[in-house]
Amino acid sequence: MPDTPLLIKRSLVDQALDQLRQRIANGTWAVGQKLPTEPELAAELGISRNTVREAMRVLAFTGLIEVRQGDGSYLRGCVDPLDTLKALSRCTLEQARETRHLIEAEAIGLAALRRTEQDLQGLREALEASREHFHADLDCYIACDMVFHRLLIDAAHNPALSELYRYFSSVVASAVHHSLSQGPRQQRVFDLHVGILDAIEQGDAERAKALSRTLINEP
């Protein structure tokens, strides 16, 4: 019996979330638009303000809305990032490889043309950290490697690419883990990272992209 109120409360919040997500999907509000206040939403949905507040907290946590203190809530996107992550987690290794070619290799080509000295310094430090773990603990190496790859994408100075890659990085990490856990780690794999950084330092976009594609195609 003591758990019943909690179950009811959760059910009401879930219902409120369904209604709010439906309105977002239907285009009731445009991205960037200020949402109605909690009292207005409560009246519209026929639920309590507390339930609306809890539902809005969930939407803010998932990144669908942005709560600005003293101002209100604004719609950040029309697609729930959690749904995106679930879809990405179901992609195959070959689908991950194809997507990396489209996003990662092209972004690295841009990085060779746009990188700053600050970008290069961060990449050198990240690559050195990766070097220290390449033949050691696999999870530690992958964590360092993901930092290096994210910095590569950031060096393209395209916020949209950086944001996309952050969503996709868990898939990249899984693909790298699968590749490196199949047998002894080959030095040529790490050397490709060194070559990519060198190409970016030299401003050679085509070589950077070619080396990136070779790295992505590693079994």
The tens place of each residue's pLDDT in the chain, 219 residues long, gives 444 444 444 578 888 888 998 898 888 998 889 999 999 999 998 989 999 998 898 888 877 888 888 899 999 887 766 666 667 778 888 988 999 999 999 999 999 999 999 999 999 999 999 999 998 889 889 999 999 999 999 999 999 899 888 878 888 888 888 888 888 889 999 999 999 999 999 999 999 999 999 999 987
Burial of 30 (0-12, 13-18, 19+ CB in 10 A): exposed
Residue type, 49: R
- Residue 2: per-residue pLDDT: 47
- Residue 121: per-residue pLDDT: 97
Last residue of a domain, one of 78, 110, 136: 78
Domain range for 122 is 83-216
Do residues 74 and 89 both lie within one domain? no
- Residue 7: per-residue pLDDT: 43
- Residue 130: per-residue pLDDT: 94
Best CA proximity match to 148, nearest among 168, 128, 171, 175: 128
Do residues 206 and 167 both lie within one domain? yes
Task: For residue 211, give Cα distances in angstroms to 95, 100, 150, 155, 206.
Answer: 20, 13, 16, 17, 9
| 163 vs 181: CA distance, rounded Å | 28
Structural domain tally of the chain? Answer: 2
Do residues 128 and 165 both lie within one domain? yes
- Residue 213: per-residue pLDDT: 96
Last residue of a domain, one of 44, 78, 112: 78
Do residues 95 and 159 both lie within one domain? yes
Do residues 94 and 61 both lie within one domain? no
Do residues 14 and 62 both lie within one domain? yes
| 155 vs 200: CA distance, rounded Å | 9
Do residues 52 and 99 both lie within one domain? no
Q: Say if CB 95 and CB 113 are below 8 A apart.
A: no
pTM over 0.75: no
Last residue of a domain, one of 26, 43, 78: 78
Do residues 211 and 168 both lie within one domain? yes
Count CB neighbours of 22 within 10 A: 10
Per DSSP, helices labelled H in the chain are 4-25, 38-45, 49-62, 81-89, 93-100, 106-114, 117-133, 138-154, 159-180, 187-202, 205-216
- Residue owning tokens 């790295």: 215
Q: Following CA atoms 31, 35, 41, 44 in sequence, which dihedral angle do they give, to the nearest 10 degrees?
A: -60
Do residues 87 and 57 both lie within one domain? no
Residues in the chain: 219
Give the SS3 label for residue 46.
Answer: coil
- Residue 85: per-residue pLDDT: 65
Best CA proximity match to 66, nearest among 109, 28, 106, 29: 29
Do residues 193 and 110 both lie within one domain? yes
